[in-house]
Structure 1
Amino acid sequence: MTGTDIVVPAEWAPQKAIWTAWPWDANEWNGDLDAPRRDVAALVRALAATNTVRVLVNGPEAEATARAAIGDAAELVPAKYGDIWLRDTGPIFARTGAGTIALRFDVNGWGGKHDLADDATVGDRIAELTGTDIRRFDFVLEGGAVEHDGEGTVLATRQTLLNPNRNGWTEEAAEAALNRAFGAKKVIWVDEGLLGDHTDGHIDNIARFVGPGRVACQAPADTTDPNAAILDAIADGLARQTDAAGRRLDVIRIPGPGRVTDTAGEVLPASHMNFIIANEVVVVPVYGTATEAAALDALRAVFPDRTVHGVRSSGLLGSGGAGGGSFHCITQQEPL
């Protein structure tokens, strides 16, 4: 069976709403909910002027604190969920000839690292809230592990999709599954993601489609960048690729944030690539690094028809076992 009737719209296509979630479980954030909540509230404010934003809230305390922080900038929606990484646990919305469907996959806590109650069901809840029919697939897949151009090309890393802690796929088996689920006509493979990434190298932290035949990825910030060799390999590999339509990829390099560490000196997977493309805006995670202004200027040239906002995301990045992601990781767009 192939997914020839399925199209996942590109992220720059018009959106009906953006879904995200409010941090509620202090155990998942080293006991500090204030830092990630500040980042989520700032994200919502950056999106709200031109987007409908719906924020899941788990329990009365979460609802009260979200309302105090966000006000009427977003709709608060009571729901059960484990943590806030809706890119991975929420549905992937797609189009068929019969209308919009919600694609649902098995969840195993990013290879067994963070297996939380209600992460396996929150995607169904969002589909229910949107009145969208579900199409289920019997394999593990996180939304941040796949990047779509809206024309049948998928970007993914071997480090994630071929990892024995997911499905134990070969490359051939993975491509067949992506064809069945997404109607993927071509899969472009990247070997690995950033150091310290809890997700085993999700593609949305390293390379993003920004238009037909156009991919953005990062350049090393300086000679101390711990990901320098990885970032150069990603760009070099992508520059040799063509998409499903046969176009040679136009690879645009954005200055990366460089070495970002936690209080213990461990390298964190900070990335400007974890941006959200939304109606009229692009929200980019920043970390107070020396390359921040240059990265935002580069992305403004990529998105001349959208306002590019740099929003601090150090709280979501977290430290140790907490956090590890940013704005793209905590959102899922619902296409118009």
Structure 2
Amino acid sequence: MTLPPPPEWAPHDAVWIGFPSHGELWLEDLEPAREEVVAFARAVHAGGRGERVLLVAADSEAADAARASAPFAEIVIQPFGDIWLRDTGPILGGDGIARDFQFNGWGGKYDLPGDDTIGARLATAGGIGVEACDWVLEGGAIDGDGTGLVVTTEQCLLNPNRNGRLSVHEVEARLDRDLGLTRVLWLGDGLLNDHTDGHVDNLARFVGENRLAIPEAAENDPNWRIYQDAAARAEAFGVDVVRIPSPGRVLNQDEEIVPASYMNFYIGNAAVVVPLYGQPNDEAAIAAIQALFPDRQVVGFRADAILTGGGSFHCISQQLPSR
């Protein structure tokens, strides 16, 4: 029997965090994104009270920049396309073995050299056994509570751009076989304009066994129907739903709606780190998440520059559960 991955709130030995490395991808946002990543990493490290931080840089130039700005971190040099290690990195199961799923650039949208092999390379370099899995799955597409219960979205896992036209039954069988995930809560769509095709870590996160946090729509929130549908499905499934304020309507410099979400927080050993966007609900979101994690310090940091690349703190990190 395959043991499910420990929940994110279980103890970690370390965390991999992607460090922005390619100027041609980030352009004028490169340095601001690096500053936001370092602030996130420092909060997770928590002066040594948290967990070891493994900053992953794609080349020697980026590694030098990471060392200069994050002396508390260990620097790992491994070529990659971009920093979204939640999706390209390995998923460690309850047996301590790294599951290395196939990766196709989020359904063929962003095919960058190194992203399809970074998972196995990180695990091998860390002395972790690797088991290859024969289908496409990104870590941000699933979230579990450690008991075998997992939440995902139909928009992503049933999307033909990942694994052809696998049925619900076939996807559930593979989640069970490879990750020990025996019960699947299917939500519908993810956030508007999310290029991952609706990753669940922007929409709904487990914060305890059978307890799921889902945003509460703010005024003029473009995702209000999505949040309403997600909460209704979760409650019908029998999950305890708690609501977190949403940042609401967030626009980029071109006045386009972006998938900004407080749900992309990272649960570390000492701290829970929440992405902020300068919205009226920023402090209310921190307070609501703090109430869910009284044994950890909940802190928020701006993630505007990271979001220009399409994600936030949870997207750029992958924890190594204690073994």
Whether the 8 Å CA contact 1:145–1:203 is kept in 2: the answer is: yes
In the aligned structure 1, how far is the partner of 2:235 from the partner of 2:24?
42
- In structure 2, the residue matched to 1:325 is 311
Structure 2 unpaired stretches of 5+: none
- In structure 2, the residue matched to 1:155 is 151
Shift of 1:31: 4.7
In the aligned structure 1, how far is the partner of 2:145 from the partner of 2:29?
37
In the aligned structure 2, how far is the partner of 1:301 from the partner of 1:79?
38
In the aligned structure 1, how far is the partner of 2:199 from the partner of 2:135?
17
SS of the residue aligned with 1:209? strand
Shift of 1:172: 1.2
- In structure 2, the residue matched to 1:246 is none
In the aligned structure 1, how far is the partner of 2:247 from the partner of 2:73?
30
In the aligned structure 2, how far is the partner of 1:329 from the partner of 1:275?
9
Runs of 4+ with deviation above 3 angstroms = none
In the aligned structure 1, how far is the partner of 2:277 from the partner of 2:9?
24
In the aligned structure 1, how far is the partner of 2:124 from the partner of 2:85?
15
Whether the 8 Å CA contact 1:6–1:181 is kept in 2: the answer is: no
Q: Which deviations, in whole Å up to 9, do the C-alpha atoms of 1:183-220 show, x marking residues without a partner?
A: 11110000010001010000111000000111101011
Shift of 1:5: 2.4
Shift of 1:250: 1.3
- In structure 2, the residue matched to 1:196 is 193
- In structure 2, the residue matched to 1:166 is 162
Structure 1 unpaired stretches of 5+: 243-248
Task: Kindly indicate whether residue 31 of structure 2 is the aligned counterpart of residue 34 of structure 1.
Answer: yes
Whether the 8 Å CA contact 1:145–1:161 is kept in 2: the answer is: yes
Whether the 8 Å CA contact 2:2–2:176 is kept in 1: the answer is: no
Whether the 8 Å CA contact 1:44–1:73 is kept in 2: the answer is: no
**How many aligned positions are there?**
318
- In structure 2, the residue matched to 1:87 is 86
SS of the residue aligned with 1:138? strand
Task: Kindly indicate whether residue 218 of structure 2 is the aligned counterpart of residue 213 of structure 1.
Answer: no
State the AA in 2 paired with 1:173. Answer: E
In the aligned structure 2, how far is the partner of 1:215 from the partner of 1:32?
33
Q: TM-score normalized by structure 1?
A: 0.93
Whether the 8 Å CA contact 2:29–2:305 is kept in 1: the answer is: no
- Out of 305-314 and 28-37, give the one that drifted further: 28-37
SS of the residue aligned with 2:233? helix
SS of the residue aligned with 2:93? strand
In the aligned structure 2, how far is the partner of 1:292 from the partner of 1:279?
22
State the AA in 1 paired with 2:316. Answer: I
1:228-247 equivalences in 2 (<5 Å): 228-242=224-238
- Out of 281-290 and 47-56, give the one that drifted further: 47-56
Q: TM-score normalized by structure 2?
A: 0.96
State the AA in 2 paired with 1:331. Answer: S
More helix by share: 2
Shift of 1:66: 1.1
Q: Which deviations, in whole Å up to 9, do the C-alpha atoms of 1:45-65 show, x marking residues without a partner?
A: 111122110001122210121
- Out of 54-63 and 24-33, give the one that drifted further: 24-33
Whether the 8 Å CA contact 2:2–2:178 is kept in 1: the answer is: no
SS of the residue aligned with 1:165? helix
1:129-148 equivalences in 2 (<5 Å): 129-148=125-144
* RMSD of aligned alpha carbons: 1.0
In the aligned structure 1, how far is the partner of 2:12 from the partner of 2:170?
32
Q: Pick from 21, 24, 41: which aligns with 2:18? A: 21
